[in-house]
Amino acid sequence: MNNEFHTVRGYQLLQQNSRLLTSAMEDYLEMVCRNAGEDGFVRMRELAQKLNVRASSATKMMQKLGELGFIKYRRYGVIELTEAGKQLGEYLLQRHRVIEQFLSMLGITENLLLETELIEHHISPNTLKRLEMLTQFFSSNPELLRRLKIYISRHMTAGPE
């Protein structure tokens, strides 16, 4: 996991753009960032497949993200992230990873992706940073993580109180 992309600028970008971006726009930008790879681009068809949407829906969203200055989009071509798009996309990707790691530490396996998606669009940068610190704490203290998992296991099998 990349723990280095937590600059103040990343949080500022998210707060600045939170009024502009819908949850769906964030998902698209995150997926472009996730799949751009070393080449720095993703093809529209690939993006639509990864998000399980029609190419026409992906095209409309890319046009909106292009108008906002996050991507360079060429019709029927490739999608490239602008510098602002890279910065925000990396933050969104890191946000996803932190939440997913936290939920995994809690033993969430069923619907992990769904649970992560539901949380990531509604968490504040401050809470996210604290979640990240907690997951780093448990990662660097494996004995405490083991004890947490035992505690959770005992209480989950005991049933509701």
**Domain housing 14:** 8-88
> Could you tell me the mean pLDDT of each successive run of 10 residues in the chain, 161 residues long?
49 58 93 88 92 93 94 82 93 96 95 94 92 96 95 78 46
Which domain CATH number covers 32? 1.10.10.10
Cα 123 to Cα 117: distance, rounded to the nearest angstrom = 11
**Local structure of 106: helix, strand or coil:** coil
> Tell me, what amino acid is at 143?
E
Both 141 and 76 in a single domain? Answer: no
Both 69 and 138 in a single domain? Answer: no
Both 83 and 15 in a single domain? Answer: yes
Both 70 and 110 in a single domain? Answer: no
The two three-digit tokens of residue 35, written as one number: 């799949």
| pTM greater than the 0.85 cutoff | no
Q: What is the pLDDT of residue 5?
A: 47
The two three-digit tokens of residue 18, written as one number: 């939170």
Which domain CATH number covers 121? 1.10.60.10
Q: What is the CA radius of gyration of the chain?
A: 18
Q: What is the pLDDT of residue 40?
A: 82
Both 153 and 109 in a single domain? Answer: yes
Neighbours of 161 (CB within 10 A): 4
Both 69 and 118 in a single domain? Answer: no
Residue 59 lies in a domain: yes
Domain endpoint, select from 62, 88, 114: 88
Both 106 and 60 in a single domain? Answer: no
What is the DSSP-derived secondary structure letter of residue 156? H
Residue 36 neighbours by CB under 8 Å, 6+ apart: 42, 79, 80, 81, 89
Domain endpoint, select from 35, 65, 88: 88
Cα 145 to Cα 160: distance, rounded to the nearest angstrom = 23
